[in-house]
Homo-oligomer: A and B are copies of this chain.
Amino acid sequence: MVKLAKEQIEYYMRQALLQAKKAAVIGEVPIGAVIVHEGEIIGRGFNLREHAQDATIHAEIMAIQEANRNLHSWRLEDCQMFVTLEPCPMCAGAIINARVPELYYGARDPKAGVVGSLYDLLSDTRFNHQVEVHDLVLAKDAGELLQSFFKEIRVRKKLAKHQRKLDQD
């Protein structure tokens, strides 16, 4: 597989960040992903858990499903995946199941990340597939996006509480 240059890696991660922003706009936790095959983006996804009321619709799952459809194959050989946040067990497992060879991710997730934080599932040689992992790609952008999202939620909650108090008085 062709090795990506730094500019290409950052370009694709910015595309994943764009997906994350789509999630933020509709009030979902902003996490985004893209999958690249021979230079072309063939899968895009963003977190849609609340709108879909579906526990499985994380950015990575949506992107893998679209890439599977586009390649007419459950095997994502010769693909690179870009995700703004370190994957959770479900998504890391899906990356193994889809045989994704290479993963680039942004911010670490110390609470649920299993690609370096809580576990290192993608390098475990007991599974039938291992993934080449590149972490902390544009991590600052991914982290800031998440922080500003949670800050806005806190402000909104505070305002709502204040409004309720005013309504009661």
Contact = CB atoms under 8 A, between A and B. Distances in A.
A56 B98 CA distance: 8
B90 A94 contact: yes
B94 A111 contact: no
A55 B97 contact: yes
Contacts of A55: 64, 68, 74-76, 94, 97-99
Interface stretch (A117-125, A135-143, A157-165): A117-125
Counted per complex, copies of this chain come to: 2
Contact of A111 (B61, B64, B128): B128
A114 B52 CA distance: 27
Interface residues of A, number: 39
**SS class, residues of chain A in contact with chain B:** loop
A121 B56 contact: no
Closest 6 CB pairs of A and B: A90-B93, A89-B93, A55-B98, A55-B74, A55-B97, A90-B94
Interface of A: 49-50, 52-56, 58, 61, 64-65, 68-69, 72-76, 88-94, 96-99, 111-112, 114, 118-119, 121, 124, 126-128
